[in-house]
Amino acid sequence: MRRADKEINDYQEIATIMQKAEVCRIALVDGDCPYIVPVNFVVHENHLYFHSAMEGKKIDILRENNKVCFEMDVSTKIIKGKEPCFWGMKYLSVIGFGQAFFIEKSNEKKKALDLLMEKYAGKGIFSYHEEALRKVFVIDIRIEKISGKKSHI
């Protein structure tokens, strides 16, 4: 990282950012063209999970190339300056890299979906119809590298 003063080295702080973030942007490579998509997600034990319809551009790309980059941020705020070049931004962000895999088994899909539901809805007991589990893809990104960055201006 170019600016060591902005680097977050504490994994617990990085984990807190990932827990608080509501949206994760997944970057994919479509041939020689980048493609990015926002998703609801959860991170658990070095895995990032999200769900998807079983067809579409994102799924087509992942079938061809499962390497991904992801980004999430929290506490963003524009800081106005007196002149254009004196503006700035406060933020906490995480960028990571990994490989995406489709979860096939219903019981493994359910575990990941339970984690997603708990993140967004709170603790509870969740039930899923077997047909719904068959009609959803759950993607597991195995995190290989992760870094955090902050700016408090």
Mean pLDDT of 45-49: 96
Residue 16 φ then ψ, to 5°: -65, -40
In angstroms, what CA-CA distances link 127 with 95, 109, 111, 134?
Answer: 32, 12, 11, 14
Whether residue 97 contacts residue 28, with contact meaning beta carbons closer than 8 Å, is answered with: no
Q: pLDDT value at position 9?
A: 87
CA dihedral 92, 23, 126, 46 (to 10 degrees): -60
Percent of the chain with pLDDT over 90: 76
Residue 152 φ then ψ, to 5°: -110, 5
CA distance 113 to 127: 10
CA distance 95 to 146: 6
pLDDT digits (tens, 9 = 90+) for 59-118: 999 999 999 999 999 998 998 999 888 898 899 999 999 999 999 999 999 999 999 999
Class of domain 4-151: mainly beta
Does residue 2 carry a pLDDT above 70?
A: no
Which residue ranges make up each domain of the chain? 4-151
In angstroms, what CA-CA distances link 31 with 13, 49, 76, 142?
Answer: 35, 24, 32, 22
